[in-house]
């Protein structure tokens, strides 16, 4: 499909390739800069959390910086929470889900309020 002379498919494939390269970079950084070791199941679900980070930021690059730092802080804090308070670290995923849903709902209500204001 070509509309407005933009090669849609070529751009989509290109974006996927670049996206995969970024994910590969993340994996390489994890091995060469963090764990200094390669073992099965190296990533404790970073890829999946990455989707949540991108969704929360609505695909805005600067927003991703903010949401990645937020989720990074949450997950780092979760380890400390488990050590000091005995709360299972995985509970942090619930917090992440709640943040995402809260942002979605706030957004919906803002849109509705704006619509009512203009109507």
Residues that bind another protein (CB under 8 A): 1-4, 45, 48-49, 51-52, 55, 87-88, 90-98, 100-101, 104-105, 107-108, 118-119
Cβ distance to another protein smaller for residue 2 or 62: 2
Q: Do residues 88 and 82 touch, judged by C-beta distance below 8 A? A: yes
- For the bound state, the minimum distance from the C-beta of residue 37 to another protein, rounded and expressed in Å, comes to 19
- For the bound state, the minimum distance from the C-beta of residue 59 to another protein, rounded and expressed in Å, comes to 11
- Taking CA atoms, 63 is separated from 9, 26, 57, 67, in Å, by 26, 18, 5, 6
106 phi, psi to nearest 5 deg:
-60, -40
Cβ distance to another protein smaller for residue 65 or 114: 114
Run of H or E residues at 7: strand 6-7
Cβ distance to another protein smaller for residue 27 or 93: 93
């Amino acid at each position: 499909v070509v509309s407005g002379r933009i090669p849609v498919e070529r751009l989509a494939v290109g974006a996927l390739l670049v996206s995969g390269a970024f994910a590969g970079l993340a994996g390489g950084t994890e091995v060469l800069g963090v764990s200094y070791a390669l073992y099965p199941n190296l990533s404790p679900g970073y890829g999946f959390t990455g989707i949540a980070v991108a969704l929360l930021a609505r695909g805005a690059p600067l927003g991703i910086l903010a949401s990645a730092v937020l989720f990074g802080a949450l997950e780092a804090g979760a380890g400390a929470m488990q050590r000091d308070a005995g709360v299972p670290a995985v509970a942090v995923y619930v917090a992440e889900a709640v943040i995402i849903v809260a942002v979605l709902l706030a957004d919906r209500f803002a849109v509705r309020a704006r619509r009512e204001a203009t109507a």
